[in-house]
Amino acid sequence: MSVSQADVMTAMSKVIDPELHVDLVKAGMVKDVRVTGDTVKLKIELTTPACPMKGKIQADAEAALKAVPGLKSFDIEWGAQVRGVAGGSGGALLPGVKNILLVGAGKGGVGKSTVAVNLATSLAQHGAKVGLLDADFYGPSVPLMTGTADKRPVSPNGKTLDPLVAHGLKIMSIGFLVEADQALIWRGPMLHGALMQLVRDVNWGELDYLILDLPPGTGDVALTLSQSVRAAGAVLVTTPQDVALADVVRAKQMFDKVHIPVLGIVENMSQFICPHCNKSTPIFNHGGGHKAAEMFGIPFLGEIPLDLKVREAGDSGVPVVVGHKDSPEAKAFQDVARAVAGRVSAQSMKSVPLPVMQAR
């Protein structure tokens, strides 16, 4: 019994991406189908290299091909092409950026920058092109946390700046441009101008994701960024205790007012696991992030344990997902990165026309 390309495409149309809720053919993920007698070669192109459902999709695709009558062997090539969210790409301001993601918090001290750095680094480890902009003007910590505090960006033409590169990321921060002991006593217009320069006048190039580490709260910088860039979505960082919920409410309301979707909530410092007895202790309570996510009807992206390695990694300039990549903390950050990437892909699927399937 001969196998046709139509048989293969029919089989693939029965495989549903669990995150996107659409079949692989309709999503334009099946490419380069080549049938030779009773064998077939094809490519499945995921919507992000950090796809959280790749294992499920792979198992379902293989099962579907095994069920094709007459097909004796198959070879699937796996790839990924990040798609931009309509209205969430860089547009004229950042033409090479597919998705701008904001990482924010309603208050300081919740580990927002730690989440931003490890989120960005995890996405880069999966193979995505990632930039990280430290927009926390009053407390720029990204230079220290990425080991770039003693470096300075250069200008190739006297008009623009090349970002620094570390851990697979393109990085820019106001901390590179002012002295470490210099206090920034700037009002709104000065903040706005400097912020737009860091966005507009940096040679970001082609990026799948540009992560913006916002200052805590809902002040000038957060509002300026939220209103000036077309963000694909925001990630909110909180701690487990109930008192943090009020701050999450304010941050969520700010993003709602500027029409930026909240991709979900990350609960940082969720629990302390004793390195000697492995006993878990909820130092700051537990479940506040879950509660906030349920309250707003938005996804819970994951929880990050409280551990000394995370602090030490930040102080040493080597993110925990790099320096301790097999640790529970690193794996938790990697899970969050996959969840964020999946949410962005889902947003993209809702907002832009589906691509045309390519087969030959």
pLDDT of 146 above 50: yes
Q: Tell me: the pLDDT tens digits for 183-197?
A: 566 666 677 777 888
pTM exceeds 0.85 for this model: yes
Q: Is 80 exceeded by the pLDDT of residue 144? A: yes
Distance CA 277, CA 273 (A): 8
Q: Kindly report which listed range (73-87, 136-150, 175-189, 337-351) carries the lowest average pLDDT score.
A: 175-189
- Distance from chain centroid for Cα 11: 31
C-alpha 256/C-alpha 253 separation (Å) is 5
User: Is 109 assigned to a binding site?
Assistant: yes
Q: What is the pLDDT of residue 359?
A: 44
> Residue for token digits 């860089």?
90
Strands 130-134 vs 97-104: parallel, antiparallel or unpaired: unpaired
3-state secondary structure the chain: CCCCHHHHHHHHCCCEECCCCEECCCCCCEEEEEEECCEEEEEEEECCCCCCCHHHHHHHHHHHHHCCCCCCEEEEEEEECCCCCCCCCCCCCCCCEEEEEEEECCCCCCCHHHHHHHHHHHHHHCCCCEEEEECCCCCCCHHHHCCCCCCCCCCCCCCCECCEEECCEEEEEHHHCCCCCCCCCCCHHHHHHHHHHHHHCECCCCEEEEEEECCCCCCHHHHHHHHHCCCCEEEEEECCCCCHHHHHHHHHHHHHHCCCCEEEEEECCCCEECCCCCCEECECECCHHHHHHHHHCCCEEEECCECHHHHHHHHHCCCHHHHCCCCHHHHHHHHHHHHHHHHHHHHHHHHCCCCCCCCC
User: Per-residue pLDDT for 72 more than 90?
Assistant: yes
Q: What percent of the chain has pLDDT over 90?
A: 56
Q: Does residue 111 have a known ligand-binding role?
A: yes
Residue range 226-246: mean pLDDT, rounded: 81
Whether 360 has a pLDDT exceeding 70, the answer reads: no
Find out whether 127 and 150 touch, Cβ atoms under 8 Å: no
CA separation for the pair 332, 250 (Å, rounded): 26
Q: Rounded to an integer, what is the distance from CA 348 to the centroid of its chain?
A: 13
Q: Which domains does the chain have, with CATH numbers?
A: 7-80 (3.30.300.130), 97-351 (3.40.50.300)
**116-125, 152-161, 210-219: which has the highest mean pLDDT?**
116-125
User: Is 322 marked within a binding site?
Assistant: no
112 is annotated as contributing to ligand binding: yes
Tokens of 224: 């300026």
Candidates 40, 46, 50; CA nearest to 17 is: 46
